[in-house]
Amino acid sequence: MFLSAASRESHWEQIYRQRAVDSVSWYQQSPTVSLELLDAVGARPDEPVLDVGSGASVLVDALLDRGFSDLSVLDVSASALDLSRSRLGVRAGTVHWHTADVLEWRPERHYSLWHDRAVFHFLTQASERERYVSTLKSALRPGARVVVGTFSVDGPEKCSGLPVQRYDADGLAGTFGDAFELLEQRREEHHTPRDAIQVFTWVAMRLR
Ligand SMILES: C[S@@+](CC[C@H](N)C(=O)[O-])C[C@H]1O[C@@H](n2cnc3c(N)ncnc32)[C@H](O)[C@@H]1O
């Protein structure tokens, strides 16, 4: 199923307007694997970080708690970012907010760390994945690291009612091409708020 940029925006806007943040299947109280992988690739608090498709995730809160000073978040849903801004209160002022579709977005600066949990797997068309990787490369500093989590090959076939592309670690890293070196991989069993298990594949890569 191919969604236009306008359909993607309205799909996600509707969800964040209608659902409680802690009721969506991807909700997690603590972004444990993301933080473990950022640690594993040696992320330093002075490095610029971008969380792509951040939704209302508390990763940004956790990174602020750890002293990260150059944080950017991007999501196609303005409502998702509003939820995060309200939660953060005055701390929101130190974060760079981008309401944008990553497939349409043109980065205006470079990042040392790019994080994506459960966004890349929605790109079921090769042309969408190529576009994402091209944007990613244009947004990275030399030696940057990329942390991506998707549904695993034994994970669900859909997320939020949309079909997903499922990956094992080699397949996921391979999709990003030779420009990236695979540093770390993880398999995660995510427990949804309804206590279902969703298996994720995670990779951490470095731009060669
Ligand atoms: C499954 S949720 C994951 C949210 C967050 N990363 C987390 O782990 O809680 C997917 C998120 O990606 C956003 N999203 C989906 N497609 C996008 C796109 N093309 N560009 C930017 N954001 C997108 C949605 O609005 C939603 O917030």
Q: pLDDT digits over 108-123, tens only? A: 999 999 999 999 999 9
The pTM assigned to this predicted structure is 0.98
Q: pLDDT digits over 128-177, tens only? A: 999 999 999 999 999 999 999 999 999 999 999 999 999 999 999 999 99
Residue whose CA is closest, atom 9 of ligand 1? 57
Does the structure show a pLDDT above 90 at 14? yes
Please indicate whether residue 101, judged by its CB atom, sits closer than 6 Å to ligand 1: yes
State which ligand 1 atom lies nearest to the alpha carbon of 116: 6
DSSP string, the chain: ----HHHHHHHHHHHHHHS-GGGSTT--SS-HHHHHHHHHTT--TTS-EEEET-TT-THHHHHHHTT---EEEEES-HHHHHHHHHHHGGGGGGSEEEE--TTT---SS-EEEEEEESSGGG--SHHHHHHHHHHHHHHEEEEEEEEEEEEBTTS-SEETTEE---B-HHHHHHHH-TTEEEEEEEEEEEEPTT--EEEEEEEEEEE-
Report d(CA 190, CA 25) in Å as an integer.
9
Residue 1: predicted pLDDT: 64
Please indicate whether residue 135, judged by its CB atom, sits closer than 6 Å to ligand 1: no
Residue 3: predicted pLDDT: 84
Does the structure show a pLDDT above 90 at 69? yes
Q: Give CATH superfamily name and number for 5-16+30-207.
A: Vaccinia Virus protein VP39 (3.40.50.150)
Domain ranges of the chain: 5-16+30-207
Give the distance (Å) from ligand 1 centre to CA of residue 90.
24
Give the distance (Å) from ligand 1 centre to CA of residue 119.
5
Please indicate whether residue 12, judged by its CB atom, sits closer than 6 Å to ligand 1: yes
